[in-house]
A and B are shown apart, each in its own frame.
Chain A
Amino acid sequence: MGNIIDRIIYVVTSLPNTLPGTVSQGLIWGVLAIGVYITYKILDFADLTVDGSIGTGGAVAIILIANGVPMWVALICAFAAGCLAGLITGLLNTLLGIPGILAGILTQIGLYSVNLVILDGANKSISVDKFSLLLSSRRVAVSGGFSVFGWEIGKAIIIVAVIIAALYWFFGTEYGFTIRSTGCNANMARAQGINTKKSTVIALVLSNGLVGLAGGLLAQYQGFADVNMGRGAIVIGLASVIIGDVLGTAIFRKRFNFVARLSFCACGAIIYYLVLSIVMLFGLPATFNKLFSAVIVAIFLAVPYLKKSSKNSYRRAARNSLKAKLLNMETEEKGAADNADAD
């Protein structure tokens, strides 16, 4: 018993120290989550390219920076590399008729080799002391004071805000409308003269561009890129989108508009990492990270379904009808008794 209380005290006291790192990391994954939102929610396409394209973005950014390319240019190239990955999945799906999930898996697996080639090995690190980086966990860890974290987090918030503003604009344009209608009802979109194949490809390109950018940011933040950095990324992205959706719907209800939805993808990612860091402080070994994310996604996907089916289940129907029958019998008996009294 005392042990548990000690644990809890330990967790509560360590949390403030880990918080800045958790939030910065969450915001970076928020960029990925926003990318996932475009395919999963807007286009209605479960895109598994993500696990590969985040690694490609990371690899491209690290290699370019290591070769003296300015960090901004490296990030733009990471975005472009992600776009290219999305383009491949899009063409596999629309031009060659490969089902969406499979198209994503094929690109993802192919990218594993590509990422090995780009990195010229399994991983590559760069030092924040030697290169100017946009975000770095070292700066978060070393300073120990809130001033610098504040700035790292501030930079990450600005990046997320700029992306949300850009997407708000884009999905309000004529072209943005075509992507939304394609995801909602492709038959209708075609009847309105929309080339649904093209809009599917564009959405995949844009989504994976953001994922590549997230990879570039993450690699800078952690100071290295690794071929395995993307493993399970889609699950974390989905977890963030779903957590954000559940939370946002609860808070905003009908007023949950587009900007709020995108912002809550980022919030979802922060919450995900927050919960993960708490669980780890409690002593969950890092080995269980992936299992943790799988369980989180399973729970959040299952909850809305179970909620609905508990209101709408056969067992409940049977119970209700039995109840009604018993009630009926009771009143009948009572009626009979009353009649007998009357006689």
Chain B
Amino acid sequence: MLTLTDVRKTFNAGTINERKALNGVSLSLEEGDFVTIIGGNGAGKSTTLNAVAGVWPIDSGSIEINGKNVVGLPEHKRAAFIGRVFQDPMTGTAATMEIQENLALAKRRGQMRGLGWGITKKEREEYHELLKTLDLGLEDRMTSKVGLLSGGQRQALTLLMATLKKPDILLLDEHTAALDPKTAAKVLELSDKIIEENHLTAMMVTHNMAAAIKHGNRLIMMSNGRIIYDVKGEEKKHLTVDMLLQKFEEASGSKLVNDRMLFSKDDTE
């Protein structure tokens, strides 16, 4: 489904700010895989997701989606295959547009946009039903501007938008980190549900190790722009947070000194 082969990316090459963010990342996802990604700050987790999404061109390596090498495609063209939810709830939606208009934009991801209506009556009905499933009362506020929604509501909407047109890959970058614990848990649950119901292939970055263990069928750990640990299936099910911490020390030769991770051992991020 998604294959990364020796992907490398250096930011600000040749300057004093040079930063090797990806040092040969290779990874292969099967259809329906749900991978959680953990690692310290600056490990390259977001950079990996951005490389897949095509936010900037990579330096070398290849990225294949459904057997098609996409490294030559700019971000907006790659969007045809990819749904994304970001850490900042502001990033994923257009605040000055209506809820239903945001959904209509997402519905046409990867399609030619012409001079047909931006949203049709039939769509409105469809979105009404769809919003009901969120159980946030948004179905009665379809013509409200998205800017009026709370962070959690916006993330739930973004999740819906990212999956409205079934993506080949769903990329979630700490999409619950900016939410309060209760809302975060709800959005996480919703993500699980959507991924399962639509049999999506997904990558989810999180700083919450318990969540990383609990969700998905595969877990990878990154450090210094590399994947240092990759575990799936039964083995993943039996992981504990302590085992992960130990693995990190073994693999990277340093302690995972990251207060955010230590504080988020429980399931409440």
Contact = CB atoms under 8 A, between A and B. Distances in A.
Contacts of A195: 74, 76
Interface residues of B, number: 34
Interface stretch (A104-112, A120-128, A136-144, A175-183): A175-183
B94 A193 contact: no
B91 A184 contact: no
A105 B93 CA distance: 32
A220 B101 CA distance: 40
Contact of B110 (A173, A176, A178, A193): A193
Nearest to A175: B113
Interface string B76-106: 1101101010100011111111000100111
Interface string A285-324: 0000000000000000000000000000000000000000
B91 A192 contact: no
A184 B91 CA distance: 10
B118 A193 contact: no
A196 interface: yes
Q: Please report whether the interface of chain A is mostly helix, strand, loop or mixed according to DSSP.
A: helix
Contacts of B76: 189-190, 193-196
A193 B115 contact: no
B75 A190 contact: yes
Contact of A180 (B79, B86, B91, B97): B97
A191 interface: yes
Contact of B79 (A173, A181, A193): A193
Contacts of B86: 187
Given A172-B118, A177-B101, A188 B113 contact: no
Interface in A19-61: none
B116 A193 contact: no
Given A174-B116, A176-B118, A181 B97 contact: yes
Contacts of A187: 86, 91
Q: Which of A175, A189, A190, A193 has the most CB of B within 10 A?
A: A193
Contact of A172 (B74, B91, B117): B117
Interface string A186-218: 011111111110000000000000000000000
B94 A174 contact: no
B1 to A, nearest CB: 19
A331 interface: no
A314 to B, nearest CB: 27
Interface of A: 170, 172-178, 180-181, 184-185, 187-196
Given A174-B113, A180-B97, A189-B94, 18 more contacts: A172-B118, A173-B117, A174-B118, A175-B115, A176-B118, A177-B118, A181-B97, A181-B105, A185-B95, A187-B86, A191-B53, A191-B84, A192-B108, A193-B76, A193-B77, A193-B109, A193-B110, A196-B76
24 contacts: A172-B117, A172-B118, A173-B115, A173-B117, A174-B108, A174-B116, A175-B114, A176-B118, A177-B104, A177-B105, A177-B118, A177-B119, A178-B105, A178-B113, A181-B105, A184-B95, A185-B91, A192-B108, A192-B109, A193-B108, A193-B109, A193-B111, A195-B74, A195-B76
